[in-house]
Structures are given as structure tokens and as C-alpha cells.
Structure 1
Amino acid sequence: MLSQAKFTPACSRLNKRAYFIFCLCLFFVVPPLNAQICRKGITPQTIALKNFDFSTPTVALDVLTGLKWDRCVYGQTWENSTCTGSPIKLTWKEALSVGANNNKRLPNIKELNTILDLQCAIPPVNLKIFPNTPASTENGLWSSTPYILEDTSITNAWYIDLGFGITTYRAVTTKNFVRFINKE
């Protein structure tokens, strides 16, 4: 029969010290679970800072496409050179309406794909351009592009997953995050 070790105060202190050192090593060696993952060189598509003009701090002007992107996701505010606050998820129809009422619009799916940085995941965007973008494999950014099947009713719309940048569709009644384009 195996005997069980009895912990003495000295042994207990040693175990606590070893556990503390182990946790300290994990803190410095393993990246945080909510940290963005980027692997440079795995894909040619990357989004470069040099392609954006930040003359208006809250807007990222893509000089290649001429699109003026909100740097913050809807619900966040620009403060101290970053996006703060909690993003608000909207249904597709709510997003279309909110944009129209604020001189903004939802990007179509092709436009939305132009801001992806596929060398990065969770979220798949350049966080220097779009800081504090939510990282989520369950939610994404709505596009204005409807997903239409054989009938002409719009029950689904295209969006981009904020985990890995996958373009897919979902019911227009579900809620997603929104990044608007300025109309002017």
C-alpha cells in the first residue's frame, strides 16, 4: 500500500513557493488568452498603416479606396487616442437605420474585407488602426450585403467573423457589431 505524504509546515511553504514561481513563469512566457495573435509572413494580405490618413483622429481614411472608416465600433467613443467603452450589437436592420440617421452607412461585404489583416486573428484587424476592436468568434461586423436565396426575401446578411476573419452569413434578426463608413 502506498503511503500518503504528510505536509509539514516547511513542505507546505515549499509547495506554495514552487506554485508561485510556476505561475510567475506562466505570466511572462504564455501570452494572455485575450491577446491578439499575429503571424507575419503567412499570407500576403496585410493592412499597412501607411495606407491610412488619420487627419481626423476618429476616422481612418483608406487612401487606396477613399473610404472613411470609423476607428471605433458602434457604441465605443474615441478618448485618449483609443476606443473606449462597450460596443453595442445591433440587428442588421437596426444597423442600416442607425447609419442612415448619422450620415454613415454599413460597408458592403467587399469593402469590409479590405480592412481585414489576415495575418492576425482574434480580432483579424490592425489594432493600431482600429484599436479595441472586439475579439469574438461568436460575433462579427455586419455588412450591408444581403444574402438572398431563391426567394427575394431578406432573412440573412453577410458579416465578417471577428475571430478569424471568415466571411459568412447569419439571420438579420441576430445582433452583431458594426463599423460604419462616413458618407461625406
Structure 2
Amino acid sequence: MLFLSLFLCTSPASATQTCRSDLSPSTPTGRFISGSDGTVTDTVTNLTWKRCSEGLSGPSCETGKAITYTWPDALRIAASSTFAGKKDWRVPTIQELDTIIEYHCTMPAINAAVFPATPTSNFWSVSPFAGYPDGSWNINFNDGAHETCNRNWNLYLRLVRGKMLNQEGAGR
């Protein structure tokens, strides 16, 4: 199983978002407040997210190129970020990433109106993978799957700020 989930970390970014119209959104747009500073606040979790993946900017995240990082580099990027004049940005927990998965959509499995131009690939969490000291949990936003990757692999990053959600069950 570990081999399979490590292999899946290499899934490529791909096509156009597909959403099921017969299901209610798990992350409705009205749940989020978009700031003029490039942030999005989730009114359910009270977390504030960067609207764009690292490397992208602009109202629709149309400027730049999404950048991948190793896990140690992702932690350094978060610790040094002063985006929107704030210094408390961090890499999200796996539970926090869970809260922005849009379960009725794929490619990407996220509300694209709230988080535009999200790569359909893996995003780091700070959550360690129990039993694999060199690995951490991540979310593959192609389909919302939980995966583990070696911390030396390059994955995408979306920063968050606010009170950290419980890491209980991070090693599931």
C-alpha cells in the first residue's frame, strides 16, 4: 500500500474540472469570504488561506507559475512568508486541507471559484505519516485523495493561517 501511495505522488496535472450537478457542493462559494489582499477566509473553520497556490498571483491566480517544493523547503517558505502583511503563514495540516476538498468535483477537487488555477496534483501538509519517518500526508487535488510522499519529493503548496485544526488521526 505504501508503495502504491508513493507512486501516486507522481500523478500529472491535467484537464478541465468536472463536477456532478446531482450533488450539493461540499465547499459552497458562500462559505468563503474573499479578501482584496489575495486571501480567502473559511467561515466554517475560521482559517484564512492564500487564494493562489505558491508561485501564482492575481485575482484569478493567472500570473506566474505554480511552484513545487520539497517538504523542508515548504516549511521554510511558510515560515518566511509575509503575504498580505501577515507573518503567521504555515503549511496546513491534513485535516485543514480536507476542509477545502470539493467532493463533487475532480480535476481539480476544489472549489475553482474560490481557489482558481489550482494544479490537479499533490499539495503538502505538515502532518507526518505514522510509520514512515521520511513521509508526510498530502492531498492530491486531482480527485481529493489522501496520499503520502517522501519529504524530498516536490509537491505544490497552499499556505494557511489561523488556529491549527487538530492533527488527531494524522497517521490514518
TM-score by length of 2: 0.77
In structure 1, stretches of 5+ residues that fail to align are: 1-32
List aligned pairs for 1:130-149, cutoff 5 A.
Answer: 130-135=115-120, 139-149=121-131
Secondary structure of 1:105's aligned partner: coil
The answer on whether the counterparts of 1:89 and 1:175 sit within 8 Å (CA) in structure 2 is yes
Q: Quick check: 2:33–2:42 contact (8 Å CA) kept in 1? A: yes
Consecutive unaligned residues of structure 2, counting only runs of 5 or more, are: 1-13, 82-86, 164-172
Aligned to 1:127: 112
From 97, 121, 128, the counterpart of 1:112: 97
How much is the aligned-residue C-alpha RMSD, in angstroms?
1.8
What letter matches 2:91 in structure 1?
Answer: L
Give % identity: 28
Residue 40 (structure 1) aligned with residue 18 (structure 2)? no
Per-residue CA deviation, residues 48-83 of structure 1 (Å, 9 max, x unaligned), is 1111111334111001111000010001112xx210
Number of aligned pairs? 143
Task: State the SS of the aligned residue for 1:167.
Answer: strand
- Give me the whole-angstrom Cα distance separating, in 2, the residues matched to 1:109 and 1:35: 25
- Aligned equivalent of 2:60: 82
Question: In structure 2, what is the equivalent of residue 92 of structure 1?
Answer: 71
State the AA in 1 paired with 2:151. Answer: V
Q: How does 1:22-61 map to 2 (within 5 A)?
A: 34-42=15-23, 46-61=26-41
Between the two structures, name the one with larger relative contact order (CA 8 Å, sep ≥ 6): 2
**Structure showing greater Rg:** 1
Separation in 2, partners of 1:94, 1:41: 40
1:7 maps to none
The amino acid that maps onto 2:100 is: I
Q: Which runs of 4+ in 1 moved over 4 A?
A: none
**Paired residue secondary structure (2:61):** strand
1:138-163, Cα deviation, whole Å (9 max, x unpaired):
x31100101121xxx73000000121
Q: Which amino acid aligns with 2:60?
A: T
What TM-score, normalized by structure 1, do the two folds share?
A: 0.73
